[in-house]
Structure 1
Amino acid sequence: MLTNKGKYGLKAMVHLSGLAPGALAQVQDMADTNNIPKKFLDQILSELRNAGLVFSKKGKGGGYALARPAAQITVGQIVRVLDGPLAPIQCASVTAYRSCDDCADEKVCTVRLVMVKARNAIAEVLDNHTLADMRALAASDLSPLSYQI
């Protein structure tokens, strides 16, 4: 499940994707616009900066912007930075794999086999949609119920 940290991070990144080239967004403005607690957003943006997804400028006229074009940042990258691996259990993870202590043979473990399918389905969606795609979705007239990925 996507945590509030992941959800707020995605909202902030979509906000940044809507800035004019060269423009910077101040944390308070992003927090107010997206209904995110400012202190929490500061922490989220720090993690995104450390991951190289955003950059910041301090001082008067400072703020945050995307570190690269919105079309080059996937939803999956953001979620992994903020919420960790996409897999529901560790033995199904690609990036943080660990075998389970209670599994005799993971090649036939039905729980793992289904969780690998779930992980792959989630990754397929998140890794094939960018911030630019999210921005376009927000600007479209499609309701969430009628939108098909």
Structure 2
Amino acid sequence: MLSKKTRYAIKALTKLAKEFQKGPILISDISKTERIPQKFLEAILLELKNAGILNSKKGKGGGYYLIKKPEEVDLANIIRLFDGAIALLPCVSIKYYERCDECVDEALCGFRDIIREVRDNTLKILKESTLQDIIQREDSLKA
């Protein structure tokens, strides 16, 4: 299950993606429209800034803005940034691999093989899904 932090990050990023290249957006505006607690949002946006996904401008006309195009920000990277591994088991994780204590032989573990297949399919979908895709899906659901 995705953490609330990840879900809020995706909501905030989607809001910023809808306003891409229209200038910075105030944290208070994102917080209000997306119903994200402002203090929590500040920490999330700072992590996204440190990850090189967005930037901020101080002073009059300031706020946060995407520095990557919406079609370049995939969900797999956002989920990994906040929640870590996408895999359901550590022994099939690509970036966070750990051997399972209870596994006798990974090469012969049928359960591991199934979970690796789940990981591969999930990862494929998340890597191919971007902020732009979220916006397009929202638009098509409104129609």
TM-score, normalised relative to structure 1 = 0.89
C-alpha distance in 1, partners of 2:88/2:132?
27
Give the aligned CA root-mean-square deviation in angstroms: 1.5
| Match of residue 38 from structure 1 | 38
Provide, for residues 72-103 of structure 1, a one-character-per-residue CA deviation record: whole Å limited to 9, x for no partner.
11111111111111111111100111111221
| 4+ residue runs over 6 A deviation | none
C-alpha distance in 1, partners of 2:140/2:129?
15
Letter in 2 for 1:41: L
| Match of residue 87 from structure 2 | 87
Q: CA deviation at 1:132?
A: 0.7
TM-score, normalised relative to structure 2 = 0.93
Letter in 1 for 2:77: Q
| Secondary structure at the counterpart of residue 77 of structure 1 | helix
Q: CA deviation at 1:20?
A: 4.7
| Match of residue 67 from structure 2 | 67
8 Å Cα contact 2:20/2:65 also seen in 1: no
Letter in 2 for 1:115: I
C-alpha distance in 2, partners of 1:123/1:14?
20
Provide, for residues 90-124 of structure 1, a one-character-per-residue CA deviation record: whole Å limited to 9, x for no partner.
11100111111221111112232122112112111
| Match of residue 76 from structure 2 | 76
In structure 1, the gaps of 5 or more residues are 144-149
Worse-superposed segment, 102-111 or 39-48: 102-111
- Identity percentage over the alignment? 36
Aligned residues: 143
In structure 2, the gaps of 5 or more residues are none
C-alpha distance in 2, partners of 1:20/1:85?
29
C-alpha distance in 1, partners of 2:50/2:104?
39
